[in-house]
Amino acid sequence: MEIDLQDIRKYFGSVKANDGINMQLKGGHIYGLLGENGAGKSTLMKILSGYQPPDSGQILLDESPSKFDSPAQALKSGIGMLYQEPLDFPPFKIIDNYLLGKDNRLRLDYKTVEAELMEFSSRYNFNLDVQAFIDSLSLGERQQLELVRLLAGGAQVLILDEPTTGISAEQKELLFDSIRILAHEEGKTIILVSHKLDEVQELCDHAFVLRKGKLVGEINIPCSNESLVEMMFGQIPERSDRSPQIKDKAMLKIHDLTISTYRMQIESINLEIKSGEVFGLAGLEGSGQELLMQTIAGLIKPAKGKIFLDGVDMTGWSYHRVRDELTAYVPAGRLEAGLVSGLSITEHVVLAEPEHAFFVDWKASREDSEKRIVEYQIVGTPGTMADELSGGNQQRLLFALLNNPLKLVMLEHPTRGLDVQSTNYIWEKLYSRRNDGTAILFMSADLDEIIERSDRIAVFSGGIMSRVVDAKSTNVDELGHLIGGRE
Amino acid sequence: MSARRLFTYAWPAVPIIAALLFTAALLVIFDASPLESLVAIFQGAFGDQSKTLSVMAFWVPLTLCSIGLLITFTAGLWNIGIEGQIIMGSIAASWVALKIDAPDPLQVPLELIMAMLAGAFWGALSAVLKTRGKVHEIFSGLALNNLAIILTNYLISGPWQPPEGGTFRGTQPFADAALLPRFADSRFSPISLAITLVAIGMVYVTLRGTFWGLKLKSLGKNPFSSFLLGVASERETILAMMFCGALAGLGGSIRVLSWFDSLRQSISGGIGFLALLVVMLANYRILYVPFITFFFSAILNGSITLQLRTQLHSSIGGILTGVMVLFVLLFGDSRIFKFFKKEDINERT
């Protein structure tokens, strides 16, 4: 099926998630859709799969304009989406799941349906036991079931959202083989949404790259990883000259650290960050950099290795204990992780203070908040609720909550959603902490920011940390190489 | 602006009026006059001194439980186990009353303190099951409620049965010195009123003025962000449940020491569940609580007279309160406030 997306626009408040996207996709091809978090991939795919309507623009399917009010309607028109988390009912059997939403008669026709299910699964070499319960299946098997369900529903276009996250290498191979059959033999249109350049290189024929809500490029595959990286991140301006304030004292030392989560294994990280240093972690979303940071912060227990802060072994300490040692962790989640909806700025300030009396001195706290509001240029009053602030002001509030002094600050996407001026301002504030010897460790999806702000940089790719590079002498080519996972 | 403000303040009255209308319609269907019934309920509640005192005596433990629940609700906990905490409090108070013969000025305080400890312990069980065992407090609460009921039944039919033989109805009456001093032959004890007023003040200050109260509020709204901001969720969860359990246990002891004079079957009379409804109606606003509990207490006590006068069952009072809560949840202010918020934004831009 041919798809023609014409000038698709979707705004959320002042955020232009999709800002006039035009795209043509043909049957029989596998397309990669690339872009960093917030580039607008999910929004575009949700529009195409009927999950949400666009504000303006048109979707043409085989040259006829189409409009969907729901994913079910989109599937009727031939568009199916495979979500990261399969939409199934764990307490049910495979066959019941398959029947759900498919057969709406009173009496269920198990026999025919079972035959149909078997036929589909053998065509793509899936090994599905129709009587098995969903909760006994692996994520990969649940994905296969979902795929079969979409195909049986008549999908001619399949959107796969990060389909390889959390599945085994074998299942990934099986999935890729079936995708190739679907596209190249059966003429279906496949869209692979992914962060992983290697997978896009391996599977796709053509890639579209989105950045800040716009289609910034398309390219036939195979191509070099660097050209993809350059499209994803754009031209990187020259790094401005700035005097480092690195002191001759190791603030954070990581020795042979192994992190093991159900999604990813990160082996033997060795790293030393000096007092007053700004260290940037680059890499595509979910490559392991946030796991390293969360492990240092005490949110994840390391499987092996040691972490020293200012000479003290703090391996395996709880988050609160690490925090009491004058560290701060600023997550990217804002209202999900970091701020509390329904609490005022003052209440946040009181909570974040290191020392607490039994009774809260509200008057003094309000005055303190007032000061921080001025200092961090937050548009709000001490009584303003965190959820009433705009995104940028929420970000500024997170910084206003940082205490003084600190030995180590860990930041996830510190300036996401801020304008240039606020970004500069926040970084000036952070730089001023270097005089006290604060070490700054941050990750960002923005290569500009990584190169501009760091003293040194390490790149994560698929759970592996690259060698450490000097920010002054590196360039996009080198980082692109590393992001793609090649030395 | 002023019209909207008026509307905002008057809003809580809307579900109450709706519930009254609904109950009135129900009465009409059963061929009773709504007005007459209302008068009967009112006279049943406030017709003479003893009736008014009875309303007050019911109000005391109900209010104690409700303000206790304010603490757990603020922390985001569904303390369904409050019934069990009330019962454990009444059992502990009964144990002291029956088995311990303390010198006079200490007897009753000892009963009250033991009741608070027992209630706090029962609450802590629920909390630890949640933080350590990942059992939701609703389920552990229900289980612990049943355990407490079974324990009561065992005690009154077994070891604590009256000497004349077990009737499965209650223990023998406690000695006068073991009971709370009651006012004018009623079930109402002025001391319990004083305790309740102090407790209301304490909970008010805790929620408004203490750092612990702020931590609970934060925990209830976003546990993960609170954790990141330094709130120790396990400790605060256990403390909140114990705080509520202690107040519920105190309420339970007042049930045995002033409303009754012995440990009875279904000693709580369902005030724990009723308190849950009160708190939903009050929606975190502590200053509403004493009034709502008073209203509930009056309706429920007045309904007894309604039954005597008309042929209607006294459960009509329960229906009225239940329906009222349903209406509150139905008209839940969230929707209406959202509506106004939209207007706000339009005004600003």
Question: Does A239 map to a domain?
Answer: no
Instruction: Please identify among residues 387-406 of chain A the ones whose CB lies closer than 8 Å to any CB of chain B.
Output: 401
Average pLDDT, chain B: 87
Q: At A450, list the tokens.
A: 């990584």
The verdict on A206 and A286 lying in the same domain is: no
Percent of chain A whose predicted confidence (pLDDT) is above 90: 47
B251, B65 Cβ separation under 8 angstroms = yes
- pLDDT of A116 > 50? The answer is yes
- pLDDT of B341 > 50? The answer is no
Local confidence band at A486 (pLDDT 50, 70, 90 cut-offs): low
Q: What is the pLDDT of residue A439?
A: 95
Model ipTM value: 0.84
Quick one: average pLDDT of A238-259?
Answer: 87
Contact A340 B225 (CB under 8 A): yes
A66, A59 Cβ separation under 8 angstroms = yes
Q: Is B333 on the interface with A (CB under 8 A)?
A: no
Nearest to B214 among A320, A341, A347 (CB): A347
Within 8 A of A360 by CB-CB distance, chain B residues are 209-211, 214
The verdict on A277 and A218 lying in the same domain is: no
Contact B224 A350 (CB under 8 A): no
Q: Is A341 on the interface with B (CB under 8 A)?
A: yes
Within 8 A of B227 by CB-CB distance, chain A residues are 319
Q: What is the pLDDT of residue A253?
A: 95
Quick one: average pLDDT of B181-210?
Answer: 94
Q: Is A363 on the interface with B (CB under 8 A)?
A: no
Tell me, what amino acid is at A102? K
Q: At B8, list the tokens.
A: 């905002």
* Distance of residue B217 Cα from the nearest chain A Cα, in angstroms: 8
Q: Is A356 on the interface with B (CB under 8 A)?
A: yes
A179, A190 Cβ separation under 8 angstroms = yes
Instruction: Give the chain B residue nearest A357 (alpha carbons).
Output: B211
Local confidence band at A392 (pLDDT 50, 70, 90 cut-offs): confident
Nearest to A339 among B212, B217, B225 (CB): B225
Q: What is the pLDDT of residue B168?
A: 65
- Ranges A64-73, A124-133, A369-378: which has the least confidence: A124-133
Instruction: Please identify among residues 198-217 of chain B the ones whose CB lies closer than 8 Å to any CB of chain A.
Output: 209-212, 214-215, 217
Q: What is the pLDDT of residue B12?
A: 66
B75, B240 Cβ separation under 8 angstroms = yes
- pLDDT of B216 > 70? The answer is yes
Question: Does A75 map to a domain?
Answer: yes
Local confidence band at B343 (pLDDT 50, 70, 90 cut-offs): very low
Within 8 A of B212 by CB-CB distance, chain A residues are 358
Q: Is A338 on the interface with B (CB under 8 A)?
A: yes
Contact A338 B214 (CB under 8 A): no
Q: What is the pLDDT of residue B144?
A: 97
Q: Which residue has the higher pLDDT, A444 or B200?
A: B200
If you search the block for the tokens 């008073």, which residue do you land on?
Answer: B294
Q: Is A126 on the interface with B (CB under 8 A)?
A: no
Contact B211 A323 (CB under 8 A): no
Q: Is B225 on the interface with A (CB under 8 A)?
A: yes
Q: What is the pLDDT of residue B333?
A: 54
Nearest to A331 among B210, B228, B231 (CB): B228
- pLDDT of B147 > 80? The answer is yes
Q: Is B229 on the interface with A (CB under 8 A)?
A: yes
Nearest to B221 among A342, A350, A362 (CB): A342
Contact A351 B210 (CB under 8 A): no
- pLDDT digit string (tens) for B309-334? 777 777 877 888 788 778 877 776 54
B27, B33 Cβ separation under 8 angstroms = yes
Q: Is A336 on the interface with B (CB under 8 A)?
A: yes
Question: Does A312 map to a domain?
Answer: yes
- pLDDT digit string (tens) for A58-106? 999 999 998 888 888 898 899 999 987 777 787 788 888 887 766 566 6
Q: What is the pLDDT of residue B319?
A: 83
Question: Does A431 map to a domain?
Answer: yes
Nearest to B211 among A329, A340, A360 (CB): A360
Local confidence band at A234 (pLDDT 50, 70, 90 cut-offs): confident
- pLDDT digit string (tens) for B98-141? 999 888 889 999 999 999 999 999 999 999 999 999 999 999 99
Average pLDDT, chain A: 88
- Ranges A187-201, A363-377, B160-174, B199-213: which has the least confidence: B160-174
Local confidence band at B170 (pLDDT 50, 70, 90 cut-offs): confident
Q: What is the pLDDT of residue A240?
A: 75
Round to whole Å and give the CA distance between A447 and A454. Answer: 11
Q: What is the pLDDT of residue A482?
A: 86
Instruction: Give the chain B residue nearest A323 (alpha carbons).
Output: B230
Q: Which residue has the higher pLDDT, A99 or B266?
A: B266
Nearest to B230 among A320, A335, A343 (CB): A320
Nearest to A360 among B209, B218, B221 (CB): B209
Local confidence band at B349 (pLDDT 50, 70, 90 cut-offs): very low
Q: Is A410 on the interface with B (CB under 8 A)?
A: no
The three-point CA angle A439-A445-A451 to 5° equals 55
The verdict on A171 and A57 lying in the same domain is: yes
Which of A185, A208, A233 is the last residue before a domain boundary?
A: A233
Q: What is the pLDDT of residue A328?
A: 94
Domain that holds residue A223: 3-233
DSSP per-residue string spanning A25-79: E-TT-EEEEE--TTSSHHHHHHHHTTSS--SEEEEEETTEEE--SSHHHHHHTTE
Continuous segment of H or E residues that includes residue A209: strand A206-211
Contact A323 B214 (CB under 8 A): no
Nearest to A337 among B211, B214, B228 (CB): B228
Which of A200, A233, A266 is the last residue before a domain boundary?
A: A233
Within 8 A of A336 by CB-CB distance, chain B residues are 222, 224-225
Question: Does A129 map to a domain?
Answer: yes
Instruction: Give the chain B residue nearest A350 (alpha carbons).
Output: B211
- pLDDT digit string (tens) for A145-194? 888 888 888 899 999 988 887 777 888 889 999 999 999 999 999 999 98
Percent of chain B whose predicted confidence (pLDDT) is above 70: 91
* Distance of residue B93 Cα from the nearest chain A Cα, in angstroms: 31
Cβ atoms < 10 Å from Cβ of B120: 25
Round to whole Å and give the CA distance between B73 and B76. Answer: 5
The verdict on A261 and A141 lying in the same domain is: no
Q: What is the pLDDT of residue B347?
A: 33
Local confidence band at B95 (pLDDT 50, 70, 90 cut-offs): very high
Round to whole Å and give the CA distance between B284 and B207. Answer: 10
Contact A319 B210 (CB under 8 A): no
Q: Which of A98, A42, A47 is nearest to A74 (CA)?
A: A47
B305, B46 Cβ separation under 8 angstroms = no
Instruction: Give the chain B residue nearest A319 (alpha carbons).
Output: B228
DSSP per-residue string spanning B141-208: HHHHHHHHHHHHHHHHHTTT--TT---SSB-PPPPGGGSPP-STTSS--HHHHHHHHHHHHHHHHHHH
* Distance of residue B216 Cα from the nearest chain A Cα, in angstroms: 11
For residue A370, the domain's CATH number is 3.40.50.300
Nearest to B229 among A336, A342, A351 (CB): A351
Q: What is the pLDDT of residue A56?
A: 93
Which of A169, A199, A233 is the last residue before a domain boundary?
A: A233
Ramachandran class of B160: left when φ > 0, alpha when ψ lies in -120 to 50, beta otherwise: alpha
Instruction: Give the chain A residue nearest B227 (alpha carbons).
Output: A320
Q: What is the pLDDT of residue A384?
A: 93
Annotated domain spans of chain B: 55-318
The verdict on A283 and A330 lying in the same domain is: yes
How is residue B310 annotated by DSSP?
S
Contact B225 A356 (CB under 8 A): no
Counting one residue from chain A and one from chain B, the pairs whose CB atoms sit within 8 A come to 62
The verdict on A213 and A266 lying in the same domain is: no
Local confidence band at B63 (pLDDT 50, 70, 90 cut-offs): very high
Instruction: Give the chain A residue nearest B220 (alpha carbons).
Output: A340
Local confidence band at B346 (pLDDT 50, 70, 90 cut-offs): very low
Nearest to A340 among B211, B212, B226 (CB): B226
Local confidence band at A211 (pLDDT 50, 70, 90 cut-offs): confident
Instruction: Give the chain A residue nearest B228 (alpha carbons).
Output: A338
Question: Does A73 map to a domain?
Answer: yes
Number of domains in chain A: 2
Quick one: average pLDDT of B14-28?
Answer: 84
Instruction: Give the chain B residue nearest A403 (alpha carbons).
Output: B229
The verdict on A225 and A329 lying in the same domain is: no
* Distance of residue B221 Cα from the nearest chain A Cα, in angstroms: 6
Within 8 A of B230 by CB-CB distance, chain A residues are 320, 323, 351-352
Q: Is B294 on the interface with A (CB under 8 A)?
A: no
Quick one: average pLDDT of B144-153?
Answer: 95
Nearest to A320 among B217, B224, B232 (CB): B232
Question: Does A131 map to a domain?
Answer: yes
For domain B55-318, the CATH architecture is: Orthogonal Bundle (1.10)
Quick one: average pLDDT of B251-271?
Answer: 92
